[in-house]
Structure 1
Amino acid sequence: MTGKPRKWKVLDAAQPRFSGYAKPLVSEALTRAARLDENQDDYHELRVALRRLRTLLWAWRPLFGRDLDEPGPASLKRMAAVAGEARNWDIAAGLLGQRCEGKTADRLAAARDEAREAARRVLAGSAFRHTLLETLRRANRLLNASPRGVPMKRFVRGRVESADRTLDKRMRRAKKSGRRDYAALHTVRKRAKRLRYLIEFFGPDLPRRRCRRMKQLKKIQDRFGILNDVVSAEQLLAHHREIFEADGSADAALASLAKARKRRRRAAMKLLA
């Protein structure tokens, strides 16, 4: 005896589920952007919200087709970079430690304030709000127009498996490339972050073995994140040597960061073994 093939209910399908994940992130990003002058942590949290939103756009990309490639994800990445510029000055100040005093401290504070003001002009403006809301609307339009009946559980498992394979491939490539190829290590960090966000989003729909990798992903994010902070501060200060009182103090600070970078890179490489 054969029954009729099951018809997936709308709530079982992947298409309508996107909005439930994306809307809170859009709301959080707008809230953070509106109060950037109140708390420096909002720059970081805003970047996290945008990264998580971009991860969702990546996850649902097979159902969007190519129509969402521009301007949504690319614009979100550029705006996250604006917030990141302000955040990098805070990181640099923390890493400089006792070297950040006197005129150097004053100049660094001025550069940080200038970067924050530039970020506020971009992120608290109407263009940022429009980009976020339009990206969400456009994504929903494309999903509403796409064929129905893609089961959510099967869909997210496939996307997590894809992200998992990509991370493993990037880790092997970074291990072969050696310690000098920071770009390969940076890619590992980004792909680990993507996989972690996906597991956090879709944990209930994933087999338990997938969730067991969270411990490793957190270690990668911690060690590679510290490495990225040092590299970002080193590059930032190398381009803004004028904040130091003398070339000698600039050279000493950059040498200290270079030493920290090598130490952090060795620690990160151990996770690729």
Structure 2
Amino acid sequence: MTRDSLKVDKRPADSDPAAGAHSAQEAFASYAAPLVDHAIEYANAVREDASPEALHKLRVSLRRLRSLWWAFEPLLEKGENTRQRALYKFLATAAGKTRDWDILIELLIHDDNGARSGTSEIAPKLQDARGAALSTSRETLSNADVKHLLREALSSASKELNTAHERMPLRKFARQRVAASERSLNKRMKRARRAKRSNYIAFHNVRKAGKKLRYLLEFFEPVLSSGHKRTLNRLKQIQKRFGTLNDVVASEMLLRDNAALLAGSGDTDAALHWLGKERKRRMRSAAGLLRKL
């Protein structure tokens, strides 16, 4: 299952788009503009490209935008920042509805080969459901006018920051926001270690916090001091272990929610049984990793 890369751009600081900025306010647009361009590009691509990769790239680009707006939250008007982050979440969810079917199909048909879950017979119905979800995703993204919304969000935030009277040194700001994100991750890891094995939400919160921290390190790495190698290695482990758990949990929920749609096309009970066993196995694996970190 292809996931967004964990690699942090190792360009020297003077080649970083924000290298010439002395303040966080000055640097914002150089971080945000490329992300907005990518999101618009991927949104346009989804109109023609029905592949899982096109949808995945769009969803990742929107998640990065949401994390960047979170990073600059202390410098932006709270209400507007909350609205913009909600917008990115809405658009990512629109793309994600189709992506969820791709993951379910990959788990049941490809990873399992239909052998244990007995799902080879429902493959056509799964593909039909995926096609319907893709149509809905495309319609939602088209009606939302992604290009206009993202350009407007970038313009509004940039204007607010550029007219601010106070200035925060970029390096200091980056350290503070990465540190805040690290504290959030550590707090959620502590809760998950204490949680019952059936408490998936606690594990899911660790995954989200880890992803946010990774994005911030990718944004700010050129202006941060060294010493994040251990953190990045830990984040890589979390993403891989907790990501595979999330795939199974989301797929199990999707199959249960659409059981009526797939009725009569195959043994959905067998598929749910297999996914349930996989969920428990991957929960144990995720819990084991938490104990080691």
Report the TM-score, using the length of structure 2 for normalisation: 0.85
Partner of 1:22 in structure 2?
Answer: 32
**Is 2:123 the counterpart of 1:105?**
yes
Q: Which residue of 2 aligns with 1:181?
A: 199
Partners of 1:203 and 1:211 within 8 A in 2? no
Q: Distance in 2 between matches of 1:57 and 1:77?
A: 12
Q: Are 2:258 and 1:270 aligned? A: no
* Secondary structure, aligned partner of 2:104: helix
8 A Cα contact 1:13 1:148, kept in partner: no
Q: How far does the alpha carbon of each residue in 1:185-232 deviate from its partner, in whole angstroms, 9 at most, with x for none?
A: 101000000101111111122222234310110110111111000011
Backbone CA RMSD of aligned residues: 1.8
- 2:69 and 2:81 in contact (8 A); partners too: no
In structure 2, the residue corresponding to 1:207 is in which secondary structure? coil
Query: Which residue in 2 is equivalent to 1:81?
Result: 93
For the 8 Å contact 2:104–2:251, the answer to whether it is kept is yes
**What is the number of residues matched between the two proteins?**
264
The Cα of 1:272 is off from its aligned counterpart by 1.4
Partner SS for 2:165: coil
Pairing partner for 1:143 from 161, 165, 175: 161
Which residue number in structure 2 is paired with residue 124 of structure 1? 142
Larger Rg: 1
Deviation for aligned residue 1:247: 9.0
1:21-45 deviations in whole A, cap 9, x for unaligned? 1111111111111121313211111
Q: 1:253 aligns with which of 271, 277, 290?
A: 271
Q: Which residue of 2 aligns with 1:13?
A: 23
Indicate whether 1:94 and 2:106 are aligned: yes
Cα separation, 2, equivalents of 1:188 and 1:261: 17
Identical-pair percentage: 41
Decide whether aligned partners of structure 1 residues 27 and 125 sit closer, same or farther in structure 2, where only a CA change above 3 A counts: farther
Matched position secondary structure for 2:168:
coil
| Alpha-carbon contact 1:199-1:211 (below 8 Å) kept | no
Q: What corresponds to 2:5 in structure 1?
A: none
Aligned-partner residue type, residue 101 of structure 1: S
Q: In the superposition, relative to structure 1, how do residues 145 and 67 fare at CA in structure 2: closer, same or farther (>3 Å)?
A: farther
Among 50, 53, 58, the residue aligned to 1:41: 53
Report the Cα offset of residue 70 of structure 1: 4.2
Structure 2 residue identity aligned to 1:43: L
| SS of corresponding position for 1:150 | coil
Q: 1:38-77 residue pairs with structure 2 within 5 A?
A: 38=49, 39-77=51-89
160-169 or 202-211: bigger deviation? 202-211
Deviation at 1:250, TM superposition (A): 1.2
